[in-house]
Each structure stands twice: as structure tokens, then as C-alpha cells.
Amino acid sequence: MQNNIFSGLFVGQNLVVLKEVDSTNTFLKNSLSNSKPLPEGTVIMAEDQYAGRGQRENTWHAEPGKNLTFSILLNPTFLSAQQQFDLTRAVSMGVYDALYPLLRDSLKIKWPNDVYYQDKKLGGMLIENILQGAQIKHAVVGIGININQENFHPGAVNATSLKKILQKDYDLQYILAEICNRIEAYYLQLKAGKLQFVRDLYISRLYRLNERHWYKSNEKKFEGIIKNVQPGGLLMVEHDGQEYTYNLKEIEFLDD
């Protein structure tokens, strides 16, 4: 009997491990135009992702063989284009729950979908949705988590890894399976219409929620307090006596 650590119904049941690829997101997106469709839940994992893509057109650097760099194919046709951020929440919560037994309450989700340990970035996500009319047809959920890497690119001053935090090496496939199983569970909550349940959990795990910190927007620095995230995903920050909303490109988190 095969020993399958992917205990869910579909996420990770079709696992493709590539020795090297430019970007697992690009690879998976390109596969969508093949005549034979990939099953939902297919995971493309790269041992060496040499041109990984991050948010805001950034590059995602990961030392070969030491980290998790993978993409999951989901077909959330039950979500409208306006509900894209609910998928972001479900995926973030899945990653959070998988890492929580190791990192406990210092683990947070930095809006919109970075994984933080204290004030350091442990990982991030790049979710690329393919829309059909007003619905989501496919979602390519790209996830990068720093696991056993100890030295980082000079530009990545804020990066950390499980190894740096816990001084131990971790089995990549085991953590991959944990993440996939947890994401599937939250995804099924969304499918069952439990959007508010996932929204509430996401908020409760948010980095800097209800704390006073420094931010920058439009070249202006200000001290503000993150109050909430709107259903559509805009960040709500209170400053100068009012609440303002920001999208990803409009606000920068500063160190205090």
C-alpha cells in the first residue's frame, strides 16, 4: 500500500515534482492551455525555481532544494470575481494552521498574504486568478515558504526561515502535505458558503491588528492602527482621526 501523507480529498493527490523550472506559477498557468485538463488540486513543486515571481512584480529567491516553492491548481467556480480575496484568506489560513504547531502565537499573517514570524517574513503567496465573466474559473495558488535556508539574498533583509527560527531541518514534503491538507479544509469551508467564518479567523491572525505602527502612503509617513480588512480585501487603517482604506500598491509598512 502506498503511504500517502496527503490526507485530503484532492489537494496534492496529483503531485508533480520538477527538478528545475522558471516559476511553478508560470508552468501551471501554461499547462491550463493543454488539451487534457489537469485535475483540480494538482500541485506543481519545484526543487529549483530559478525565476520565481513575487507580488508587486518582485522576484522570489529560494536556494535550491531547501525551501517550499509550489503552486496548486484550484477551480473555485463557486466564487465571484468580487470574492477573490476570500480565496486569499482561505489559503493564508491553511498555511497558518500548518505552521502553527511549530511557531505558535508569534506567527501572523501580514496583509494581504505574507506569512510572518515576529517582524520577519517566512513566506508569501502569489495567487493568480483566471476569470470567466464574473466568476473565477481557475486559481493558480503559488506559495513560497522558507524552510531550511540559512543565508538570504542581500536584498531580502527581512527574510527568515524555519531553520533560522528553530535551529532544525524540516522535511519539505511533510510540511507541503500539511499545508495542502489545511488549505483544502478552508477551501471546502468557502465552498460550503462559510465566508464569514474564514474572514473572522483571518482577521484574528493579522499582523499588527489594533496596534499603533508607522506606514507610508503617497510619500507621506504616518502612525496608524490597522482596524480591519474589508470583504473585498482593502486594508482599513485609522490615522489622523479617520479610517482610510488602502490597496496593496497604496500603502507600505514601515519599521518602527
Q: Which stretch binds ligand BTN (CB under 6 A): 6-14, 19-27, 201-209, 239-247?
A: 19-27
Using the rule CB under 6 A, which residue among 10, 12, 25, 93 binds ligand BTN? Answer: 25
Confirm or reject binding of residue 122 to ligand BTN (CB under 6 A).
no
- Assess 58 for contact with ligand BTN (CB under 6 A): yes
Among 8, 142, 224, 233, which residue interacts with ligand BTN (rule: CB under 6 A)? 142
Residue pair 71/142 in contact (Cβ under 8 Å)? The answer is yes
- Percent of the chain that is helix, strand, coil (3-state, to 5): 30, 35, 35
Distance between first and last Cα of the chain: 54
Q: Is 124 in the site for ligand BTN (CB under 6 A)?
A: yes
Whole-angstrom CA distances from 19 to 90, 91, 229, 230 are 29, 25, 38, 40
Please say whether the beta carbons of 173 and 98 come within 8 A: no
- DSSP 8-state secondary structure symbol assigned to residue 41: T
Using rule CB under 6 A, residue 160 touches ligand BTN = no
- The footprint of ligand BTN on residues 231-250 (CB under 6 A) is none
Cβ nearer to ligand BTN, comparing 163 with 239: 163
Give the other-Cβ count within 10 Å of 178's Cβ: 21
CB closer to ligand BTN out of 76 and 144: 144
Residue 176 or 244: the one with the smaller Cβ distance to ligand BTN is 176
Q: Pick the closer one to ligand BTN by CB: 80 or 173.
A: 173
Element (H, E) at 92: helix 84-103
Contact between 144 and ligand BTN per CB under 6 A: yes
Q: Can residue 41 be called a binding residue for ligand BTN (CB under 6 A)?
A: no
**Interaxial angle between packed helices 172-191 and 195-204, expressed in degrees from 0 to 180 and rounded to the nearest 10:** 130
> Which residues of the chain form contacts with ligand BTN (CB under 6 A)?
23-25, 49, 52-55, 58, 60, 69-71, 114, 124-126, 142-144
